[in-house]
Homo-oligomer: A and B are copies of this chain.
Amino acid sequence: MGKVTLQTIADALGVSRMTVSNAFSRPDQLSAELRERVLAAATELGYVGPDPRARALKRGTTGAVGVLLTDSLAYAFTDEVAMRFFSAIAEELTRRGLALTLLSAAETDGHVPARDVSMDGALVYSCDPKSPAVDWLLKRHLPLVYVDQTDRPGIPSVNVDDRGGARAAARHLIDLGHRRVGLLYSILGSELEVDADPQPSALAHATRERYLGWKQELGAAGAETVNIGVPIGGRDHHYRAGRALLDRPDRPTAVLCFSDVMATDVVRAAQDLGLRVPEDLSVVGFDDSPVALQLRPTLTTVRQDFTEKGRLAATLLTEALAQGAAPARARHHMLPTELVVRESTAPPPSVTAAAER
């Protein structure tokens, strides 16, 4: 059976192929009457419409934009914060009639999505900046938008004020009287790093900013820190990190966590040890994800607006698409963060005891 193409219909009707193309893609280019006949013939012959692949080649656009994620797409789907962000992106892109292609940064026997999949542009989201996948996207000269990444000249970006938020969180603990604070941040490795002194350059962007924010504020106040690098990807790592922090003799009186999810598991670890939150241990999260409110006690955290972040990123990308190759001034956006004080933080035990005396 021969394939049905524009030509098939053109031949059947004795018109030019171009006319058939126009019937589908540019209705104003032919009379309504002829267009009807063309469409009728198309239906009869079982022609669905212009082949997207051929159209993509000729027009140069595909109607889909990519989102580059970490190696593990599967893991990203379990991340509620990422999903809120995606939701906003999807909303905005759907409005513009664009589809969303998820790209894994991983290479599987020769297949490299970032290099091989056709798309009109891409969002680079929260993935290892050294990833070869990012390089491919850059080399392809695709319109890009960086999200939660270190800025790069010439590429529009959306970030949140991670450092400012982290400082506010640290300051909050200082103000409460804490002078010995645990810091739990994500690392790329697979083993817990206790008492580490992380190289900022080895951390992912958001992690680095938050870590530096904490350090900056705590350092200024002369507080001590206990650093633990927690591998991403498994909740049990969070729990173990919590235990590693709380089992020790010089246990801190408060913990700053990279995320609300991590904070949740630390609270669990604390409660399993018979520690009361916030009386014996203050815990602060990051993101203000839905779990922050579900946790008992409710979680003090740093809020960021995922929805706005997604919407802005999608808008920047569609703008970049519209401008085509001509790159306007790349704007770097920074969204605000806000400390949200809830029930999981309180003065350290010693201070409380002193006050009660």
Whether the pair A108, B95 counts as a contact (CB closer than 8 A) is yes
- Interface centre among A64, A78, A91, A294, by most chain B C-beta atoms within 10 angstroms, is A64
Number of interface residues of A (CB under 8 A): 54
Chain B residue with minimal CB distance to A142? Answer: B48
7 CB contacts below 8 A, A to B, read A49-B115, A53-B62, A66-B99, A72-B91, A74-B94, A77-B90, A83-B83
Q: Which residues in chain A, 46-72, are within 8 Å of chain B measured between CB atoms? A: 46, 48-49, 51-57, 60, 62-64, 66, 72
Give chain A's interface residues, CB within 8 Å of chain B: 46, 48-49, 51-57, 60, 62-64, 66, 72-78, 83-84, 86-88, 90-91, 94-104, 106, 108-111, 113, 115-118, 136, 139-140, 294
- Decide: A118 and B78 in contact? CB cutoff 8 A: no
Q: Which residues of B contact A106 (CB under 8 A)?
A: 94
A115 to B140, CA, bound (A): 26
Task: Tell me the smallest distance from the CB of A312 to a CB of chain B, in Å.
Answer: 15
B56 touches A118 (CB 8 A): yes
Chain B residues lying within 8 Å of A54, measured Cβ to Cβ, are 57
A133 to B348 Cα, complex, angstroms = 59
What is the chain B residue whose CB lies nearest that of A136? B48
What B residues does A139 contact at CB under 8 A?
46, 48
In the bound assembly, the distance between CA atoms of A136 and B55 in angstroms comes to 17
User: Residues of B contacting A111 with CB < 8 Å?
Assistant: 63, 97-98
Beyond A49-B115, A53-B62, 15 additional contacts (C-beta under 8 Å) are A52-B116, A52-B118, A53-B57, A53-B60, A56-B57, A57-B57, A64-B64, A66-B99, A72-B91, A73-B87, A77-B90, A78-B84, A96-B108, A98-B111, A100-B101
